[in-house]
Amino acid sequence: MQLQDILYSQGFGTRRVCAGLIQQGLVQVYVSNEALTPVPCTQSATEFEANGLRFRVQGVDWPYQEKAYLMLHKPAGTECSQKPSTYPSIYTLLPSPLRLRPQKAAVQGVQAVGRLDQDTTGLLLLTDDGKFIHRMSSPRHHVPKVYEVTVKHPLDDRQVQKLLAGVVLDDDPQQVQAAACEAVGEFHLRLTLTEGKYHQVKRMVAAVSNRVEGLHRSQIGGLQLPADLAPGQWRWLNQADLALISA
């Protein structure tokens, strides 16, 4: 694949813009997996094997990714929307190439896999793989998501058992129930869900006469939010991570 096409596929702008970056000497390429230092490449039509390629654009190293899969530690006070209404968008936390990756659909760049409320923190997945988004979002696949919930009133066994048995939400006649639930502390509930209704955790906790004061998603499938990933930071998912999500 030509170098300008590789950069285009990774979100560095139109093919003309990518060719300009290359011709200006702003792109360097690691010629092998063992190479420690990239070499300049000023010919936009130079051919490379895309898979496994690493390159540097304007001083920043990038791996070629046919499809982008990321995790983000969502901070409080952000919205999972391209057009936020009140708070900053989570997409402003990502570098522009991830936001501009070309897609066949009208929307460019990576998209959040589901949403977290503006005041909810924790693990959020993003990708430009539509099939992955559908698979993760479909209730048929029952991907478990673990939430750490801080509640206003002291927890008791009755509340935990009701959440496990199932509660009725105000606009849904069918019961919803937790896949797992435990009181970790007097005001700390660990709740596992396999579906994602609107404000589901908050409404389930309200249904057992309590109130959510803080909400954090710590795990999706078998993938836990890394302790060293600070709020607002992101990183690539590797194959082991992807396997954990669907495990």
Q: What is the CATH number of the domain that holds 128?
A: 3.30.70.580
Count of Cβ atoms closer than 10 Å to residue 216 Cβ: 18
Catalytic residue among 5, 61, 117, 171: 117
Asked if residue 196 has pLDDT above 90, the reply is no
Looking at residue 204, the DSSP 8-state letter turns out to be H
The candidate with the shortest Cα–Cα distance to 145, out of 190, 91, 183, is: 190
> Which of 63, 89, 115 is the last residue in one of the domains?
63
- Write down the pLDDT at residue 117: 94
User: CATH code at 55?
Assistant: 3.10.290.10
What is the CATH number for 164? 3.30.70.1560
Q: Is 157 assigned a catalytic role?
A: no
Domain that holds residue 91: 69-138+228-245
Q: Which of 72, 105, 54 is nearest to 234 (CA)?
A: 72
- Burial (Cβ within 10 Å: 0-12, 13-18, ≥19) of residue 244: middle
Look up residue 8 and give its amino acid.
Y
- The answer to whether the predicted template modeling score (pTM) of the entire model surpasses 0.85 is yes
In tens, the pLDDT along 134-172 reads 888 877 778 999 999 999 999 999 999 999 999 998 877
Identify the residue whose tokens are 């992955």. 132
- Total domain count for the chain? 3
Domain co-membership, 149 together with 88: no
